[in-house]
């Protein structure tokens, strides 16, 4: 019950990338799966070059301000355990959860720690499984250490290290074979019934220095649950802001939270009957996804439309139109307009790193435009681009601000 407010976002983390459109085992993008939160068997991981294989451990480190001298932290480790079905062309993930408790005592001690053994799967097939799960072993090391503060606040640094100690996987095994002994989509949920976790992304001023001392490896702690809660934390293998939530327009898990539900749903509906049959035969989760999409109907599709959540009221019909972009602007003392030639000098503020490769090239201005922040910018085509005419026809321009170009004399 204590983790209920974090369950939806935790499940989204657990199944992120579990299957990708077109959701067929034969699809190339589904040949390399389980990209997030993979803890590989220790021996297999250490036998590879650094960074060339999945890590075998993670560390989550965060801060807790207790509301009493003594208290406890409740933890839950969650991951998927591979259940391979030889000849079926698809490996299922079986949810595993391990609960633990970390007590801490204020004045009586400055440090407490526990160790939890992970042992699951005995190689015996489940009653409903076509093939067995392989045994997994590991450990959770949890430590609570009191930190020095200014006296007005009491802080504990909470450290959790999760290790995969599974044996029996050959060090020369291919990754897909090593996954049978891996923890997949690994993440942690923490609850502090008698305390408040401190945000590491936006800590209060008095905790900024302490937050900077937290070192996380392979996981990113974030406050979870409604915005008024501070006693719940999710440590995920992907970066989340504090208090993440599933959009109410998202009625089902499409296993790709970085995509747009409406687009994915429409794509699934375009699959051929043969592709849908392959998807349905792969495993029950994919069959259920397909069933939900096909039952959605027009009203359900309409609810998938996104909404504006930036806090600004939508424009009313009576609101005056935004001023149009000028036909020409002054750049370094010269007038520049459509047809002018400029030399590109992209600055450090560029968000598209590929634009740096255009530095020094000449371009032709297609139009003077305004960006979303009502700043003048130039839409240009690259002079040496053999596809420049096509770019103009499709209006897929490059965009630069006036301080990022130099006029070229006619």
pLDDT band at 349 (very low <50, low <70, confident <90, very high): low
Q: For residue 257, what pLDDT is reported?
A: 83
- Identify the three-state secondary structure at position 404: helix
Q: Could you tell me if 280 and 287 are in contact, meaning their C-beta atoms sit under 8 angstroms apart? A: yes
Using one digit for the tens of pLDDT, what is the confidence trace for 297-343? 888 888 887 666 655 544 444 444 455 668 889 999 899 999 999 99
What angle in degrees, to the nearest 10, is found between the helix axes of 273-282 and 284-295?
130
Q: What is the pLDDT of residue 164?
A: 94
Q: Supply the pLDDT for residue 109.
A: 52
Structure tokens at 198: 């401190």
Asked if pLDDT for residue 14 goes beyond 80, the answer is yes
Strand bridging mode 341-344 / 334-337: unpaired
**Per-range mean pLDDT, top range of 74-88, 104-118, 190-204, 339-353:** 190-204
Q: What is the mean pLDDT of residues 16-44?
A: 90
**Positions of E strands within 165-287:** 184-191, 195-198, 220-223, 232-236
Give the percent of the chain with pLDDT over 70.
86
Class of residue 191 by CB neighbours under 10 A (exposed 0-12, middle 13-18, buried 19+) = buried
- DSSP at 275: H
Alpha-carbon gap, residue 79 to 210, rounded angstroms: 29
Q: How confident is the model at residue 386 (pLDDT cuts 50, 70, 90)?
A: confident
> Residue 158: what pLDDT?
93
C-beta separation of 301 from 307 below 8 A: no
Q: What is the pLDDT of residue 125?
A: 40
Quote the pLDDT of residue 123.
41
Domain boundaries, the chain: 4-294, 328-407
pLDDT of residue 161: 94
Q: Do 286 and 25 form a contact (C-beta atoms < 8 A)?
A: no
pLDDT tens, residue by residue, 366-385: 999 988 778 899 999 999 99
Question: CATH number of 328-407: 3.90.550, 2.40.160, 2.30.30, 2.130.10?
Answer: 2.30.30
User: What mean pLDDT is reported for the chain?
Assistant: 85
Q: How far is CA 35 from the centre of its chain?
A: 11
Residue 241: the pLDDT is 92
Residue 178 main-chain phi, psi, to 5 deg:
-70, -25
Kindly indicate the confidence band of residue 67, based on its pLDDT and cuts at 50, 70 and 90.
confident
pTM > 0.85: yes or no: no
Strand blocks (E) in 67-191: 70-85, 90-105, 111-120, 136-147, 155-164, 184-191
Q: How far is CA 394 from CA 243, 366, 376, 381, in A?
A: 40, 12, 21, 11
Residue 348: pLDDT band (50, 70, 90) is low
Q: What is the pLDDT of residue 127?
A: 41
Q: Which whole number is the average pLDDT over 243-254?
A: 86
Digit-coded pLDDT (tens) for 113-148: 777 777 764 444 444 444 456 788 999 999 988 887
Whether 264 has a pLDDT exceeding 70, the answer reads yes
Q: How many residues comprise the chain? A: 410
Highest mean pLDDT range out of 183-197, 254-268, 350-364?
A: 183-197
pLDDT confidence of residue 124: 41
Q: On the CB side of 17, how many CA atoms lie within 13 Å of its CA?
A: 16
pLDDT mean over 274-291: 92
End-to-end CA distance of the chain: 72
Read off the pLDDT of residues 92-102 as tens digits, 9 standing for 90 and up. 899 999 999 98
Which of 269, 238, 250 lies closest to 21, judged by CA?
Answer: 269
Confidence of residue 261 (pLDDT cuts 50, 70, 90): confident
């Amino acid at each position: 019950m204590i983790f209920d407010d974090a369950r939806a976002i935790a499940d989204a983390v657990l199944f992120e990338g579990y299957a990708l459109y077109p959701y067929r085992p034969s699809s190339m993008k589904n040949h390399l799966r389980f990209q997030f939160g993979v803890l590989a068997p220790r021996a297999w991981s250490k036998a590879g070059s650094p960074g060339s294989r999945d890590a075998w451990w993670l560390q989550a480190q965060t801060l807790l301000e207790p509301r009493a001298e003594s208290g406890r932290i409740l933890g839950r480790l969650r991951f998927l355990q591979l259940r391979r079905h030889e000849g079926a062309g698809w490996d299922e993930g079986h949810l595993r959860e391990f609960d633990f408790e970390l007590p801490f005592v204020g004045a009586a001690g400055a440090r407490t720690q526990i160790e939890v053994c992970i042992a699951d799967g005995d190689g015996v097939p489940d009653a409903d499984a076509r093939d067995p799960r392989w045994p997994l072993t590991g450990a959770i090391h949890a430590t609570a250490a009191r930190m020095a503060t200014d006296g007005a606040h009491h802080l504990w640094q909470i450290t959790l290290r999760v290790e995969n100690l599974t044996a029996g996987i050959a060090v020369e095994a291919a990754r897909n074979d090593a996954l049978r002994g891996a923890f997949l989509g690994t993440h942690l949920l923490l609850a502090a019934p008698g305390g408040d976790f401190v945000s590491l992304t936006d800590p209060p001023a008095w905790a900024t220095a302490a937050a900077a001392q937290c070192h996380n490896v392979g996981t990113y702690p974030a406050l979870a649950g409604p915005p008024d809660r501070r006693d719940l934390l999710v440590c995920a293998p992907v970066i989340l802001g504090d208090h993440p939530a599933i959009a109410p327009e998202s009625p089902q898990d499409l296993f790709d939270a970085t995509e747009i539900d409406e687009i994915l749903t429409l794509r699934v509906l375009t699959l051929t009957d043969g592709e849908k049959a392959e998807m349905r035969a792969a495993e029950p989760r994919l069959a259920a996804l397909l069933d939900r999409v096909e039952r959605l109907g027009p009203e359900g599709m309409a609810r998938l439309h996104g909404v504006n959540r930036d806090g600004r009221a939508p424009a009313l019909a009576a609101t005056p139109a935004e001023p149009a972009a000028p036909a020409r602007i002054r750049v370094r003392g010269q007038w520049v307009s459509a047809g002018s030639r400029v030399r590109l000098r992209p600055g450090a503020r560029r968000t598209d790193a590929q634009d740096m490769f255009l530095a020094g090239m000449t371009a032709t201005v297609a139009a003077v435009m305004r960006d979303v922040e009502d700043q003048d910018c130039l839409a240009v085509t690259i002079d040496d681009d053999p596809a420049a005419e096509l770019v103009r026809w499709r209006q897929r321009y490059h965009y630069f601000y006036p301080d990022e170009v130099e006029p070229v004399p006619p």
